[in-house]
Structure 1
Amino acid sequence: MQAIGILSFAYMCHHNSFLLYTSLENPTEKRWSLVTHASVFSSMLITLIFGVLGYVTFTGYVQGDILLNYCFEDDFMNVARFAYAMTVVLTWPLECFVTREVIENSIFASKEPQLGRHILITVIIAALTCGISMATDCVEVVLQLNGVLAAIPLAFIFPPLCVLKLQQEPILSPRSIPKLFVAIFGIISAIIGLVMTILRIAEGSTCSHGNPLSYCNDYTNGTQSNYSSMSNNSSIYSNYSTKGSLYNSTRLSPLSSL
């Protein structure tokens, strides 16, 4: 059930829709449909590839951040870590633009734009996001909470409820039932996902907290401690996954998010 929240978060881009639509050179419904379908399809393809390959390699012991399953001595994955960090750096401004625009339009709508206020809001947003991100090193929990508290309502609850309100038809009419079903599904998923996430946190079953995993320690302390080729990097994970000895010395429970 937590996976619904994570997947909803992965595909949730409703808050960027207005800015992206107005940024099109010729904003028409046809062009917007092409952009959204191409974006969702490419995101689905990339997510599916990472999810399937990660699960095949590590089965039910996949971490919330798949990069944590790979050893720090893996040069190829270190390149992937750097690329992912650059992706976050380049993606964050887009999210900041939306948050700042909402604050400006909801709180300071009647006031003239000011550069000082613009900079102050940006600094506050950056400080808050940085502080919250440094409060935990378990990205899985963050994604689950973000998914059940923000992504699911934005994707499954608010849109159908808004349509039900605007169409002004009986709530049990044939046209309203599918929308009502989607809203109910979203509410149930959000409640169950939130409860299960809280229970996992209470049980202490979260993540590796950035510590090297058992098979990485075994490999670096063994006879093949110096490895750099692709074959060696791949064999360490496949050997341990086929032997079923993942996390023998690390207290981690299988994650149900994949």
Structure 2
Amino acid sequence: MSFAFMCHHSSFLVYESLADNTQERWNKTTHISIGAAAILSLLFAVAGYVTFTGYVQGDVFENYCWGDDLMNVCRGFYAVTILLTFPIECFVARDVLETAFFQDYQPQPFFRHAVLSVLIAILCMLFSLTTDCLGIVLELNGIVCAVPLAYILPAFCYIKLEEGGLITRSKLPAWGVATFGVVSFIVGVVSLFRNIEVLSQCSHGKQMFYCFPEINDTVVDLDL
């Protein structure tokens, strides 16, 4: 969840893209978008677990058989969603490269804009083609990157930059967030190394056993 909602890096680009980028409008935009995403994630998580219980997969689409036409349509919509979402990450990477290496060569010409965009997309594609099982990669990325960026560093920055002592009533929520982040980081690292063998195994693309009723002598009851 920390990895899914770690959108700090897009905040400046989104804020600048608002037609009327006031603080009130920004608060409304972020609360509605993140709140809607959290509700949808919770609905899918609960529905997936209630339907498949102990057999539920990290990707709930893996629980549905390949012959399910409705789920195949949903897989297509999901692929389109990813295709439309991925460029947002490229925008951030391109903006970072512009700031780091071409700050003295502004405004950005179209040629450099196109070259950086294509290079970022190609590099990401090459990395993605090396494997189709990224479970352990996302797990490690979420622990090492997402948790500090989402909980620890912002809280400590607020504690340091806000006026007053380190421990005041107004800073207690920030301390709570930072503590939660540190605990999550430690628990995540311990859990990762304890389950390293399980996370390293990839069952991507395999159909669940209940998709082959002709192999089973009896009908599988998912409630068992």
TM-score, normalised by the number of residues in structure 2: 0.87
Q: Which residue of 1 aligns with 2:12?
A: 18
Q: Distance in 2 between matches of 1:46 and 1:63?
A: 17
Q: Distance in 2 between matches of 1:26 and 1:204?
A: 45
Contact kept in structure 2, 1:64 and 1:138, CA below 8 Å: no
Deviation string 1:86-127 (CA, Å, 9 cap, x unpaired) is: 000000111110111011112221223343433332223212
1:56-71 aligned at under 5 Å gives the runs: 56-71=50-65
Q: Distance in 1 between matches of 2:165 and 2:183?
A: 22
Q: Which residue of 2 aligns with 1:194?
A: 189
Pick from 55, 80, 97 the counterpart of residue 49 of structure 2.
55
Q: Distance in 1 between matches of 2:111 and 2:166?
A: 48
SS at match of 1:158: helix
Q: CA RMSD in A?
A: 2.3
Q: Distance in 1 between matches of 2:164 and 2:86?
A: 40
Unaligned runs of 5+ in 2: none
TM-score, normalised by the number of residues in structure 1: 0.77
**Structure 1 pair 131–13 and aligned structure 2 pair: CA distance change class (3 A):** same
Q: Distance in 1 between matches of 2:190 and 2:148?
A: 16
Q: Specify which structure has the bigger relative contact order, considering alpha-carbon pairs within 8 angstroms and separated by 6 or more residues.
A: 1
Contact kept in structure 1, 2:135 and 2:199, CA below 8 Å: no
Task: Tell me the CA shift for residue 220 of structure 1.
Answer: 6.0
SS at match of 1:87: helix
Q: Distance in 2 between matches of 1:220 and 1:121?
A: 52
Task: Tell me the CA shift for residue 49 of structure 1.
Answer: 1.3
Q: Which residue of 2 aligns with 1:163?
A: 158
Contact kept in structure 2, 1:9 and 1:147, CA below 8 Å: yes
SS at match of 1:110: coil
Question: Amino acid of the residue matched to residue 175 of structure 1?
Answer: S
Contact kept in structure 2, 1:156 and 1:185, CA below 8 Å: yes
Contact kept in structure 2, 1:138 and 1:207, CA below 8 Å: yes
Pick from 124, 127, 143 the counterpart of residue 129 of structure 1.
124
Contact kept in structure 2, 1:160 and 1:183, CA below 8 Å: yes
**Amino-acid identity (%):** 44
SS at match of 1:63: coil
Q: Which residue of 2 aligns with 1:38?
A: 32
Task: Tell me the CA shift for residue 189 of structure 1.
Answer: 1.1
Contact kept in structure 2, 1:65 and 1:140, CA below 8 Å: no
Task: Tell me the CA shift for residue 74 of structure 1.
Answer: 0.6
Q: Which residue of 2 aligns with 1:29?
A: 23
1:105-254 aligned at under 5 Å gives the runs: 105-112=99-106, 113-203=108-198, 206-216=201-211, 218-219=212-213, 239-242=220-223, 244=224
**Structure 1 pair 94–203 and aligned structure 2 pair: CA distance change class (3 A):** closer
